[in-house]
Structure 1
Amino acid sequence: MSGMFVSFEGVDGVGKTTQVERLRSYAEGLGREVVVTREPGGTGLGVALRQLLLHGVSGDDAADIAPRTEALLFAADRAQHVAEVIRPALERGAVVISDRYIDSSLAYQAGGRELAQGEVRQLSLWATNDLLPERTYLLDMDPKASHGRLEHSEDRMESAGGGFQERTRQAFLDLAEREPGRFRVIDAARPVDEVWERIRLDAEALLAK
């Protein structure tokens, strides 16, 4: 049995975690081994990088992380994530579900930070040896509404401002338009059960292969 790689994307607060857990339970109910992971932070190294990326560098004289540095750190996290977690799980036939992957870099660093998308994409594909998900579920929602759902203090990415969030959302939608075979765009403003039903119907066909 071959493995299957699925990612969930979207701006913060759209409900990715809830749907990731529903897909985990569904796939496990079909008898599949499921590995749920996330970016950044899917490995020991990733946990340390996540702290830097989401909360910055401590110290009174510490400058904020520069956009290119940020892109490199996300790529480093992803390279370790693929080598340590994702590829080994896929090779043994598991279903891998990642809360964020390459498309987050393309949306946040290229879209939000306005770096060159081609360069960010090339960096990410080099870091992963060209590994892309079989399916990416983009949970789409107005960032103003989705951020109202957050139940914690905003991190570096969440507090980057309305313009940053709007550019990020649009970048996600542009990515989905360019790769309709991989992406499924789902209105995350709909009730949670309706969002899940859209995902379940699609995942049912994928898992049956």
Structure 2
Amino acid sequence: MTSPSAAAERRGRFICLEGIEGVGKSTHLSAVVAHLQARGITAVSTREPGGTPLGEAIRGLLLSRDFPPMHGDTELLLMFAARAEHLRHFILPALDAGTWVVSDRFTDATYAYQGGGRGIPVERIAALEDWVQGAVRPDLTILLDADVATGLARAGKRGEADRFEQEAVDFFERVRAVYHERVNRSPTRYAVVDAGGDLDRVRADLLARIDDLLAHPVSGTP
């Protein structure tokens, strides 16, 4: 019979990259996975909203500019609907199999964007978090941080803005502020990387935080 400690030892780790638009989450995601794989760790990348066929369809609804303005509650519920699928059909099976999961955003983004940006009460988000996730939390969340002007300037070079990217500067200032509030409240689960500099320096700092996790593992997911 497998002991609980042995099962926990084999369980994969859950890492999330967070931040506002233009900080390089998608750019650095594959580098983090490759870094883990080079150390003999089975790792996969994913994103939110998305990560499953249904989640990607919901992502299309959330980012599309083809619909009338979406109510904040609708947006919040769609985020958690996609997350419920993502957890049950991708994240948890991978972790149970011993695979490390690296996600471009998770629930911290919901607190930042729907809570800070849209002004939805944090208690409402927390209730959905507990319902959908239970005790599941990332082992490490890395906040790629840059000032809003820098992030939006970079995002603007990617092409036509999606529904979130077209928001005003003050929206993203509120989003960034909530990210920092969450880091300050739970500093052991977060690492902050200055994403305002050149790509190589940011990547080196980011991968150093991954090495810290490898050297000093913590568990956010039971």
TM-score range for the pair, normalised by the shorter chain length: over 0.9
Q: Could you tell me which of 14, 18, 24 is aligned with 2:33?
A: 24
Amino acid at match of 1:131: V
Q: Could you tell me which of 78, 81, 94 is aligned with 1:73?
A: 78
- 1:52 matched to 2:57? The reply is no
Could you tell me how far 1:205 is from its partner in structure 2?
Answer: 3.1
CA deviation vs aligned residue, 1:63-121 (integer Å, no higher than 9, x gap): 31100110000010111100000000000111100000000000000000011012112
Equivalent position of 1:165 in the other structure: 172
What's the C-alpha RMSD, in Å, of the aligned pairs?
Answer: 1.3
CA distance in 2, matches of 1:43, 1:152: 25
Equivalent position of 1:106 in the other structure: 111
CA contact (8 A) 1:56 1:65 kept: no
**TM-score for the superposition, normalised by structure 2:** 0.88
How many residue pairs are counted as aligned between the two chains? 205
CA distance in 1, matches of 2:190, 2:71: 30
Q: Secondary structure at the match of 1:78?
A: helix
- 1:180 matched to 2:187? The reply is yes
**TM-score for the superposition, normalised by structure 1:** 0.94
Matched-pair identity in %: 37
CA contact (8 A) 1:34 1:96 kept: yes
Q: Secondary structure at the match of 1:148?
A: helix
Q: Secondary structure at the match of 2:154?
A: coil
- 1:95 matched to 2:100? The reply is yes
Could you tell me how far 1:198 is from its partner in structure 2?
Answer: 1.8
Q: Secondary structure at the match of 1:133?
A: coil
CA distance in 2, matches of 1:199, 1:141: 14
- 1:133 matched to 2:142? The reply is no
Runs of 4+ off more than 6 Å:
none
Query: Structure 2: where are the runs of 5+ without partners?
Result: 1-9, 218-222
Query: Structure 1: where are the runs of 5+ without partners?
Result: none
